[in-house]
Amino acid sequence: MTRTFRNRRTALLYILPALFLILSLVFLPIVLNLYNSLFRWNSFDPGRTFVGLEYYIRLFKDPVFYTALKNNSLYAIISLVFQVGGGLIIAAILEDKLIRRFQPFFRTIFFIPSVISIAVVGLLWQLLYNPEVGLVNGALKAIGQAEWAHSWLGDSEVAIYAVVAVSQWQYTGYMAMLFLIAMQKIPFEYYEAAMIDGASRIKTFFNITVPQIKEMLLVGSVITVIGAFKVFDEVYIMTFGGPGRSTEVLGTMLYRSAFRNDEMGYASTIGTIVFVITLTLSLVQLKLGKSGQEV
């Protein structure tokens, strides 16, 4: 009895440093952020005024907040379709025995974008999207679709799609890679058995491949969706929320409030909302993820 007790005390001793760090670097800031959102303050002035829930009320009345939410959701949906859906299809094609011997080549090609720094990607696409000298409009003209040419990042109607598209270009290959790894763990006997039974390729894909990599699909979707609500850098570099506020996402809205408009309290409020959204999504993940042992 005393022994277990002692062990627990010792265990606590080992946990303590990490616990201390997590408490002070993760949990304390969350609580502080909540507290800060109740005050009007800026970094220039040491003084603060208590405003209570005023900023929360203002946020829910702020049209930009809904633009941001809409843009984040667009990010999530489009990313689910392209990164998870598209990634899965790419992975399935690469795993097909006809293509498999070229797989290393394609794998590298598809994976490259995801290892380039976002700052570089942002600047690169800014140039590609340029209506005068950019490659995108040039390519459209070359294939005879000149009327599709656009001022991609400069038009408040299409800019957000142009920004979201860059993300798809960058991360679809990454997702495909995750799915490939999962697929390679599926025992070949399953496919052999299916072949003997005369199942078509499509059928084996839906009845063997997809169920076997269910866990990875789930993880992929959750990463994508949470990532979509935390997105900041691509938008910051390519448009900074513009033209107007049309490409604003929660991340850039927070940044703008804090570091341009000197409203730290409002920024904290947005931070709290981002926290609530991502926490909810993580809880959903935990709930859905319970079925599996892997990951």
Partner 1 sequence: MKIKAKLLLVAMLALSLFVAGCSSSSSTNEEESGKVVLKFLHKWPQPEFAPYFEEVVKEFEKQNPDIKIKMEAIADEPIKDKLRVILGGNEVPDIMFSWSGEFARKFVRADAALDLTPYLNEDAAWKDSFIPASLQPFSADGKNYGIPLRFNGKFFIYNKEIFEKYNLEAPKTWDEFLDVLETLKKGGETPIILGNQSPWAAIHYLTGLNQKMVSQDIRMKDYNPGSGEFTDSGYVKAMEMFADLNKKGYLMKDANSSSHDMAKQLFFAGKGAIFYVELEEFADADKNMKGNWGFFPMPSIEDGNGSQNYITGAPDGFIVSSKTKHPEEAIKFLKFLTSKESALKLVEQIGWPSPIDGATNPDTALKEVAEGVDFMKQAEGMAEWLDTDVHAKVADVYLTNIQLLLDGSKSPEAIIKEVQDVAKQVQSEVE
Which positions lie near partner 1, rule CB under 8 A? Answer: 6, 9-10, 13, 16-17, 20-21, 24, 40, 42-46, 126, 129-133, 151-157, 240-246, 256, 258-263
The CB-of-154 to partner 1 minimum distance in angstroms stands at 3
SS3 40: strand
Nearer to partner 1, 17 or 198 (CB): 17
Nearer to partner 1, 261 or 280 (CB): 261
The CB-of-22 to partner 1 minimum distance in angstroms stands at 12
Contact at 8 Å (CB) between 154 and 131?
A: yes
The CB-of-151 to partner 1 minimum distance in angstroms stands at 4
The CB-of-217 to partner 1 minimum distance in angstroms stands at 37
The CB-of-273 to partner 1 minimum distance in angstroms stands at 20
3-state secondary structure 136-179: HHHHHHHCCCHHHCCCCCCCCCCHHHHHHHHHHHHHHHHHHHHH
Nearer to partner 1, 155 or 233 (CB): 155
Nearer to partner 1, 6 or 214 (CB): 6
Nearer to partner 1, 9 or 97 (CB): 9
Contact at 8 Å (CB) between 72 and 249?
A: yes
Contact at 8 Å (CB) between 224 and 82?
A: no
Contact at 8 Å (CB) between 270 and 253?
A: yes
SS3 50: strand
